[in-house]
Homo-oligomer: A and B are copies of this chain.
Amino acid sequence: MTIKNTMRQIAKNAALAAKKLSRVTEAEKNKALSRMAEELEKNYKFLLNENSKDVVKAKKSGISNAMIERLTLKQATIEQMAKGIREVVALPDPVGKVISMWRRPNGLLVGRMRIPLGVIGIIYESRPNVTVDASALCLKAGNAVILRGGSESIKSNLSIASILQGVLRETSIPVNAIQVIPITDREAVSEMLKMEEYIDLIIPRGGEELIRAVVSQSRIPVIKHYKGVCHIFVDVSADIDMAVKICLNAKTQRPGVCNAMETLLVHQDIAAKFLPQAVNKLKKAGVVIRGCEKTKVILKGIEKAREDDWYAEYLDLILAVKVVDNIDEAIAHIEKYGSLHTESIITSDYTNSQRFLNEVNSSTVLVNASTRFSDGFELGLGAEIGISTTKLHAFGPMGLEELTTTKFIIYGNGQIRT
């Protein structure tokens, strides 16, 4: 079979599975998910063995240590995967929920009921845990999933899929509800992205380059964020201790993720007091500062920030710092250089807190809290399939509900339109 035909068959099988899956009860889905957690734990030796083949090959190919680390499974990682599935079991099933219902003057009772999206394609890089997480979330929301991981993790992903599908074979859920693409050739992705008649949504997870490649080729709607250039604005009225703690947390707690702070904006009338204290702590944590002219006056000997720095998603222990005249300049800076991801204001001023919340139209806007809370679990969505800076369908962290849509259901008793 050609790659095109194989991909067509996978997509068709997924679409058929999705139709059946939309009618499966929550109890059946939860039972299958619980069994998957068990089977992953039971078969950890098989998984570690398959994974080690990927790791050996990856090391030979000379990929970076960071990627090797993300690729490598341990028994603890597998236990973590099983725990993740059990958390999804505990979440309420969104499918079938009627989110509102109203009576029309002619007596029609009109409601909106949540239904699955259908078939979801996930395109991601080396972490094999995404195979498990995404499968569990898509299944719980009643969607069939087609998974395309990095070529370096193919044996790991196929071995995970064989366990998950093995469980499905014991149930009434179609086995094609979860499929890992067995082809590592790039053509497989190109073909997948053309199958708009079978696939309803594509979620790419990975670096900006991967995501841009997916968007440029896809005829299917894509939900994504390219990058997270997250800002914290320390207002003149900020509690300095609080501001220092939040900045340290937002920059250093996990610098390589999309909700870490990349640019710090500081009100000019608090900069001389706040910046030395904050930067003292940040430097101790290994952070390199790149500042504007005014920042350089306060903090001697730091690097100068260039125009590029304001757009940069460092994903590293580097921070751009700019002193601004007021909240207007801070908001204007975010509007110009921001990525619509996450921004926070540290302030004790009521009006400015409201202005920031109302006027900054990023997907997550915070007052007096770390940007690191921009996360499905942290915001209480129960889980996260990704973060969207696409305004359509979902904006910000996406949980189970964002893997559904709603249909209108209408109860009549003979109404006709006049």
Using a CB–CB distance below 8 Å, which chain A residues touch chain B? 19, 22-23, 96, 102, 104, 108, 110, 113, 115, 117-118, 200-201, 215-216, 219, 221, 223, 239, 242, 245-246, 248-250, 253, 335, 353, 357-359, 361-370, 372-374, 378-380, 390-393, 395-397, 405-418
> Which residues of chain B are within 8 angstroms of A409 by Cβ–Cβ distance?
357, 365-366
A–B Cβ pairs within 8 angstroms, 9 of them? A96-B358, A117-B392, A253-B417, A366-B410, A368-B413, A369-B410, A370-B417, A373-B410, A379-B408
Q: Which residues of B contact A249 (CB under 8 A)?
A: 416-417
Pick the 10 closest A-B CB pairs, nearest first. A369-B412, A249-B416, A372-B417, A393-B393, A366-B410, A364-B408, A242-B414, A368-B412, A369-B415, A391-B405
Given contacts A108-B373, A414-B245, contact A395 B391 (CB under 8 A): no
The residue on B at minimum CB distance from A196 is B215
Given A200-B391, A392-B201 in contact, is the A364-B410 Cβ separation under 8 Å?
Answer: yes
Q: Is the CB of B221 within 8 A of A414?
A: no
A353–B200 alpha-carbon span in the complex (Å): 27
Assess whether B359 is in contact with A391, with CB atoms less than 8 Å apart: no
Q: Whole-angstrom distance from the CB of A338 to the nearest CB of chain B?
A: 12
| Bound form: Cα–Cα A395–B370 in Å | 35
New A-B pairs, 6, CB < 8 Å, besides A115-B361, A369-B412: A19-B335, A23-B359, A221-B392, A364-B408, A365-B410, A392-B392
Q: Which residues of B contact A215 (CB under 8 A)?
A: 219
**Residue ID in chain B nearest A369 by CB atoms:** B412
Copies of the protein in its oligomer: 2
* B391 & A392 in contact (Cβ 8 Å cutoff): no
- Cα A416 to Cα B417 in complex, Å, equals 56
How many Å lie between the Cα of A307 and that of B390 in the bound state?
Answer: 40
B200 touches A370 (CB 8 A): no
Q: Considering only CB atoms, which chain B residue lies closest to A246 in the complex? A: B416
- Which residue of B has the minimal Cβ distance to A367? B411
A219 to B223, CA, bound (A): 13
Q: How far is the CB of A139 from chain B (nearest CB, A)?
A: 17
Residues of chain B within 8 A (CB-CB) of A411 are: 353, 367-368
B residues in contact with A242, CB < 8 Å: 414
Residue pair B415, A370 in contact (C-beta under 8 Å): yes
CA distance A412 to B348 in the complex (A): 11
- Which chain B positions have C-beta within 8 A of A372? 416-417
A368 and B414 in contact, given A392-B405, A405-B391 (Cβ under 8 angstroms): yes
How many angstroms from the CA of A200 to the CA of B395 in the assembled complex? 12
Of B369, B406, B417, the residue contacting A108 (CB under 8 A) is B369
Complex CA–CA separation, A242 to B416 (angstroms)? 9
Whether the pair A414, B361 counts as a contact (CB closer than 8 A) is no
B412 touches A367 (CB 8 A): yes
Q: Which residues from B are CB-within-8-Å of A391?
A: 117-118, 200-201, 405
On whether the beta carbons of B417 and A378 are closer than 8 Å, the reply is: yes
Of A104, A242, A405, the most chain B CB neighbours within 10 A belong to: A405
Contacting pair B23 A358 (CB below 8 A) = yes
